[in-house]
């Protein structure tokens, strides 16, 4: 009888392990499909080529969500770079951490919860502050950009990427924040990439 009970317990444990492994494989597959769709639509290769990130750069990825773009940014600044991935939602940043761990990038990625209108970035630290399809969510985008400006290193850049129907608002906010447009790329269908510096 004892042997039968032991067998049943082992069988139940094995079935639970199988279910757990199956669920994990399903989650991995879903993450992979989500990443592939994001990459097709948002073309991070074009975005990052426009920015010109280099190994060792420090980047703030604003409104990073589940990290679909963050993994590409982290690869671009590897080895030795650092990405601070901000969002207002701690739950999505947990998913981001899992995605980054799966990607095995050679860069430090720090998920950081911030307030909706607060950059939450330390001063004189960042080579690039990247706002990818997020600036239109700010109550006052110009005020946000002004608040984030001290976080840039000398020569640092703001990069705003979004759908073209948000372009006018972004350009007005950047102008009101005192930024200077240095380059714009429109190679992604329906989207733009605008790169700004802070005039001396």
Confidence tier at 106 by pLDDT (50, 70, 90): confident
Query: What integer pLDDT is reported at residue 138 of this predicted model?
Result: 96
What distance in Å separates the CA atoms of residue 154 and residue 124, rounded to the nearest whole number?
7
Give the pLDDT confidence score for residue 121 in this predicted structure.
98
Please report the pLDDT score of residue 37 as a whole number: 93
pLDDT (tens digit, 9 = 90+) per residue, 145-187?
999 999 999 999 999 999 999 999 999 999 999 999 999 999 9
Q: Which two tokens stand for residue 104?
A: 């095995």
pLDDT in tens, 48-95: 999 999 999 999 999 999 999 999 999 999 999 999 999 999 999 999
Each domain of the chain, given as residue ranges in start order, spans 1-41, 43-197
pLDDT at 168: 98
User: Are 102 and 28 spatial neighbours (Cβ–Cβ below 8 Å)?
Assistant: yes
Calculate helix-pair angle for 90-103, 2-42, nearest 10 degrees.
Answer: 90
CATH architecture entry for 43-197: 3-Layer(aba) Sandwich (3.40)
Q: Do residues 149 and 81 make contact, with C-beta atoms less than 8 angstroms apart?
A: no
**Segment among 19-23, 116-120, 123-127 with least mean pLDDT:** 19-23
What pLDDT sits at residue 15?
56
């Amino acid at each position: 009888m004892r042997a039968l009970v032991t067998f049943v317990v082992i069988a139940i444990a094995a079935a639970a392990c199988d279910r757990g492994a199956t669920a994990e494989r399903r989650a991995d597959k879903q993450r992979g499909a989500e990443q592939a769709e994001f990459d097709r639509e948002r073309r991070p290769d074009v975005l990052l080529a426009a920015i010109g990130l280099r190994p060792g750069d420090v980047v703030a990825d604003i409104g990073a969500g589940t990290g679909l773009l963050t993994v590409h940014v982290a690869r671009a600044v590897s080895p030795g770079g650092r990405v601070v991935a901000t969002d207002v939602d701690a739950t999505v940043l947990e998913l981001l951490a899992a995605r980054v761990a799966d990607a095995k990038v050679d860069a430090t990625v720090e998920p950081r919860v911030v307030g909706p209108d607060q950059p939450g970035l330390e001063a004189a630290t960042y080579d690039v502050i990247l706002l990818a399809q997020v600036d239109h969510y700010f109550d006052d985008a110009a005020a946000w950009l002004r608040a984030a400006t001290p976080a840039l290193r000398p020569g640092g850049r703001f990069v705003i990427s979004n759908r073209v129907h948000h372009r006018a608002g972004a350009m007005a906010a950047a102008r009101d924040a005192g930024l200077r447009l240095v380059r714009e790329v429109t190679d992604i269908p329906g989207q733009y990439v605008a790169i700004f510096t802070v005039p001396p």
